[in-house]
Amino acid sequence: MKNLGALKYFLRIEVAWSKTGIFLSQRKYVMDLLTETGMLGCKPANTSIEMNHKLCEDMDRVPTNKEQYQLLLEVDIILRYLKLAPRKGLMFSKNGNLEVVGYTYANWAGCITDRCSTSGYLIFVGGNLVTL
């Protein structure tokens, strides 16, 4: 084993250490992705998708190529949203609190295409999100 020092970049995640905690971001990866796709100069978007937008099949229309739809229409919005991402990340603060708090959510039969249900959970340790 060799000590390589403090972790700075691993699996496209940048790690910034400070006295208050650890900050994780994907700044470099996002900037590389925007450069590669020619979207570095694009106008940023505040959200990654329209409010209350339902991605589903329209039963009255002829089926479309889902791959083409996903690649061409929504990717542009997502890349413009990522333009704001270099300033965003996860902060894991140092504190003496080790309280574990969990939250759950569910959407019963919420998918308008096949009426499938979705659910999930969030776990915080010491006020820091550790599981999503």
* Better-predicted residue by pLDDT, 51 or 108: 108
Asked if 48 and 74 touch (Cβ cutoff 8 Å), the reply is no
Note the pTM of the prediction, 2 decimals.
0.57
pLDDT for 42-64, tens place per residue?
888 776 665 565 555 555 666 66
Instruction: Give me the residue label for tokens 């229409």.
Output: 73
Inter-CA distances, 57 with 32, 51, 60, 65, 109, Å = 33, 18, 9, 11, 16
